[in-house]
Structure 1
Amino acid sequence: MDPYNAITVLAPVLIFYPLLIVFAFPLTLLAMMYATVLFLHVYKHRRREIYDAYSENFWDGAKQTVASVFDAQATYWNGYEVIGLDKIPDKGAALLVYYHGALPIDMYYIIAKMLLYKKRSLKNVVATFLFRLPGFKILLDVFGASSPTRDECVKMLKRGELLALSPGGVREALFSDEHYQLVWNGRLGFAKVAHEAEVTIIPVFTQNVREMFRTIKMGRRILQLLYEFTRCPLAAPIYGGFPVKMRTYIGDPIPHDSRLTPEELSEKVQMAIKNLIKKHQRVPGSILLALADRFSRKKGV
């Protein structure tokens, strides 16, 4: 083939292939989650044939299998590690408070690690719109994701369960950026829950979570106004799926202290997460340097 013609043919591929990758991966992740939904439905309706192959508990086998799939994906795609997993109790209640990436894929990874290595379920507080996605309810139900009220959160913790939430939620997911600023807007609900349930809070941060997935920055002010008006989680389009190094750092537990007001407790937790970011995150984040982090020698679980 003539070199000029070859360049003419390959140029569009070289230009658009990277764009295809970064926008296609979120769709691939969605497809993976729907495949999980399908598996759970199969497990539910064909349980008699496979029940004995798993365990005595109805959903345990399915959860362990799905956790293994996500743990393998985390290892091979992101070289994922958890530093400080031993700080999460083997039994008893605790409230994990985490920084929310553009997509909380690190929480999927943490939930998998907890099931596989500590044999504990980590319940996650999620946005209500997820329950409106067709077919997702079974996935959320099986893995303990919910949108509980404050009183329900307190009851879960008093039962000795592990609960994870992000005070920034969808707003932080969409409108934080590679500078990793917290977007909590004065939310105190989590602090009131921890105070009433008298539980320890454990701060959590995942290195490079903003480099795996990012939100479009063009027209950010307009998009933010659109979100505040509509509460539509698609107000800021997400792209990415880069195989960057990801490490989740479990911070030092913050024990219950009845002398602290919810405002003081919230400030203390914010400071703990900011310190984790300051210590472990390059700011502003860089996708290229986060890819280079795959060659770092620090090890976790």
Structure 2
Amino acid sequence: MEFLHVAIEYVQGLDIDYIRWVLWLVYPILITFLLPLCILVLIYVTALMLFIYKQRMKLKAAYDRDFWYGARKTVGALWIAQARIWHGYEVEGLENIPASGPALIIYYHGTLPVDFYYVMATLEMERGQQIHIVGDRFLFHVPGWSTLLEVFKVTPGAVSNCVEVLRSGHLLSIAPGGVREALFGDENYTVMWSSRCGFAKVAHQANVPIIPMFTMNIREAFRTPGWARAWLRGFYERTRLPLVPIYGFFPVKLKTIFGEPIIPNPTLSHEELRDLVKSRIEDLIISHQPRPGSILQALLQRFPWFR
């Protein structure tokens, strides 16, 4: 009891203004680092919804109905609503993607590729098209995501698998920069593809058009701290574990731009085709993205008079 009395007297003796100042100081930090968890929660909610549909499919297998189509439509509506409300999301150049038939979409990888989730939802809702996705291998080891990856056609990036998907008449997406570009890129929007040209091999073998894609302000929606990029780059290169803190989920203006199709020229080498596509992505960045990116400016772009 004596300890309780001492504690009460101590609390009563604290300066209320000081407590308010400490809370004012700490709240932005907590909010900034907790908001990215919202995306993780949304992904798990999606996985839960698909799991429910999967059980329903088993229970009503006798019905002649594609439950996965209904599931994707429901999830697409959820993501589109979130995109338009939180980011004022827009798409430009959607006509550059074939309404039917295969194409290879090559995109710049933001810290979190929420823009590509929005693209998937847009194509599903507006055209009924589904994109097959090349995902990093670590995704296939995340507990609880197996149904999610299965339904949304996420596959490892073997060249033979990618060519098969395209020859089957599907859309396929690849971010050549991958996790490295996502976690170690910065607000200057440098394209970090290193010497990767696997997607060029895929395009040559499948003989399909390549659609370059970039989303304005994608690095202002989510970011990684500069100190983390400097300290953890070597660790990632050795282990391939994406252990870099992410902060953000800022309600910045997002706008996805699809460039004109690039038809693979058989006279070009894989490296030359890769460099051509890279230059088109960089052109989209130069044309649509102020650099270095600014979170404040990206927030103001939500209002028409600041664009």
TM more than 0.5: yes
Contact 2:214 2:258 in 1 (8 A): yes
Return the letter of the residue paired with 2:30. Answer: L
Which of 119, 126, 129 is the aligned partner of 1:120? 129
1:147-175 deviation line (CA, Å, top 9, x unaligned): 14101100111111100011100000111
Which of 290, 293, 305 is the aligned partner of 1:282? 290
Aligned to 1:251: 259
* TM-score, normalization by structure 1: 0.93
CA separation in 1, counterparts of 2:61 and 2:278? Answer: 44
Aligned to 1:17: 27
Instruction: Tell me the secondary structure at the aligned position of residue 59 of structure 1.
Output: helix
Q: Cα offset for 1:56? A: 2.4
CA separation in 1, counterparts of 2:174 and 2:81? Answer: 24
Aligned to 1:203: 212
Q: Cα offset for 1:182? A: 0.7
Structure with higher Rg: it is 2
Which of 255, 259, 268 is the aligned partner of 1:260? 268
Aligned to 1:108: 117
Aligned to 1:26: 36
Q: Count matched residues.
A: 294
Return the letter of the residue paired with 1:204. Answer: M
4+ aligned runs moved over 6 Å, structure 1: 48-53
Q: Residues 132 and 295 of structure 1: is their aligned pair in 2 closer, same or farther, counting only changes over 3 Å? A: same
1:107-140 deviation line (CA, Å, top 9, x unaligned): 1110000100111001111111111111111111
Q: Give the 5 Å matches for 1:1-301.
A: 5-47=15-57, 56-234=65-243, 236-296=244-304
Instruction: Tell me the secondary structure at the aligned position of residue 173 of structure 2.
Output: strand
Return the letter of the residue paired with 2:139. Answer: L
CA separation in 2, counterparts of 1:180 and 1:51? Answer: 48
- Structure 1: 5+ residue runs without aligned partners? none
Q: Residues 252 and 280 of structure 1: is their aligned pair in 2 closer, same or farther, counting only changes over 3 Å? A: same
Instruction: Tell me the secondary structure at the aligned position of residue 132 of structure 2.
Output: strand
Instruction: Tell me the secondary structure at the aligned position of residue 227 of structure 2.
Output: coil
Contact 2:115 2:256 in 1 (8 A): yes
CA separation in 2, counterparts of 1:215 and 1:70? Answer: 23
1:178-220 deviation line (CA, Å, top 9, x unaligned): 0000111110100011011101000000000000000111153
Q: Residues 71 and 51 of structure 1: is their aligned pair in 2 closer, same or farther, counting only changes over 3 Å? A: farther
Contact 2:88 2:302 in 1 (8 A): yes
Instruction: Tell me the secondary structure at the aligned position of residue 234 of structure 2.
Output: helix
Instruction: Tell me the secondary structure at the aligned position of residue 163 of structure 2.
Output: helix
Return the letter of the residue paired with 1:88. Answer: I
CA separation in 2, counterparts of 1:131 and 1:266? Answer: 27
CA separation in 1, counterparts of 2:61 and 2:287? Answer: 46
Return the letter of the residue paired with 2:298. Answer: A
Instruction: Tell me the secondary structure at the aligned position of residue 154 of structure 2.
Output: coil
CA separation in 1, counterparts of 2:304 and 2:105? Answer: 27
* TM-score, normalization by structure 2: 0.91
Contact 1:51 1:58 in 2 (8 A): no
Q: Residues 48 and 131 of structure 1: is their aligned pair in 2 closer, same or farther, counting only changes over 3 Å? A: closer
CA separation in 2, counterparts of 1:213 and 1:51? Answer: 41
- Structure 2: 5+ residue runs without aligned partners? 1-13
1:76-104 deviation line (CA, Å, top 9, x unaligned): 01111111111111101100000000111
CA separation in 2, counterparts of 1:9 and 1:47? Answer: 54
CA separation in 1, counterparts of 2:44 and 2:230? Answer: 32
Q: Residues 169 and 48 of structure 1: is their aligned pair in 2 closer, same or farther, counting only changes over 3 Å? A: closer
